[in-house]
Chain A
Amino acid sequence: MSEELRGVVVCHGPLAAALVQSAEQISGLSGALIAVSNTGCDREALEDRVIAAVNGHPAVVFVDLPSGSCLVAVLKRLRSEQLVKVVTGVNLAMLVDFVFHRSLSPAEAAGRAAAAGEKSIKVP
């Protein structure tokens, strides 16, 4: 990939901003992730926010829940985009993995991040 991937985090309420801020604090990397909240928007406005955040760049879009308004808004206009991949169930571990692998293809980065996120879920 010639252009580094953009990460867009789409969540209910203030969750995306908190995840992005925390991922930046842990990784020391800023500017790789963009937070999008569904607060105050209907479906079309949320779609517009997501499209503006991706802004035509190759990207991985992280969504909090595997269903519901955020995922519908993301998939509505991006599901046919070859350079955008979507990962649901976003958590901090997957975002930290992602920011260090932004030179991969969207599919590869999405797969890695999803695996890192799954691996972080344990009952110690």
Chain B
Amino acid sequence: MSIVLCRIDDRLIHGQVVIGWGRAMAIDLIILVDDQVATSDWEQELYRMAVAPEIEVRFVTLADAALHMADWQSNGKRGLMLTGDVETMATLRTSNPEVVQRINLGGIHHRPGRRERLPFLYLTDQELRSLQLLEAGGAIITAQDLPTTPPVALKSLA
């Protein structure tokens, strides 16, 4: 199989990811792309505790992810690739558009400068523009916190 979900979620590995999406999509590999967590053993241990033992979890830097995405695409596992922000996912898409074809906006919460687009999704105008550029380049981008809720198209978030 391959990377079956590319998700942006600033809470990283948590219940919606593991239970909501993980079960529904029969995920058996979670790849967290986050430079800070990739260097923090104690945070990795905490995030791993949220995941069933049969699911493999990898913590990688952005640079490592760009190098290994093609391998994950063909390693026989159903993978979920997760970033905490738009910029990181945009870089992954640029590195390998074949792997990052669809992007799920799962949870991006309030910060100064961000505006509410959906209850679980706040974006700055710059973040929205970055996503619109990715979509103009062929990516399919929808906002959807859980598989049981309807996806919302990016163009309706402006």
Contact = CB atoms under 8 A, between A and B. Distances in A.
Given A72-B43, A75-B42, A40 B109 contact: yes
B46 A41 contact: no
Contact of A12 (B12, B15, B108): B15
A64 to B, nearest CB: 10
Interface residues of B, number: 17
A69 B49 CA distance: 11
Given A71-B46, A75-B42, A75-B46, A43 B10 contact: yes
B110 A67 contact: no
B47 interface: yes
Given A75-B42, A75-B46, A69 B111 contact: no
Interface in A43-100: 43-45, 65-69, 71-72, 75-76, 79
Given A67-B49, A71-B46, A42 B111 contact: yes
A72 B10 CA distance: 12
Contact of B47 (A12, A40, A41, A72): A72
B155 interface: no
Nearest to B18: A68
B11 interface: yes
Interface string B7-30: 000111111000000000000000
A42 B108 contact: yes
A13 to B, nearest CB: 11
Interface string B87-118: 00000000000000000000011110000000
A40 B11 CA distance: 11
B46 A72 contact: yes
A45 B11 contact: no
A51 B15 CA distance: 23
Contact of A42 (B11, B13, B43): B11
B110 A41 contact: yes
Contact of A40 (B15, B50, B110): B110
Contacts of A67: 46-47, 49-50
A44 B108 CA distance: 12
Interface of B: 10-15, 42-43, 46-47, 49-50, 84, 108-111
Interface of A: 12, 38, 40-45, 65-69, 71-72, 75-76, 79
5 contacts: A40-B109, A40-B110, A42-B110, A67-B49, A69-B12
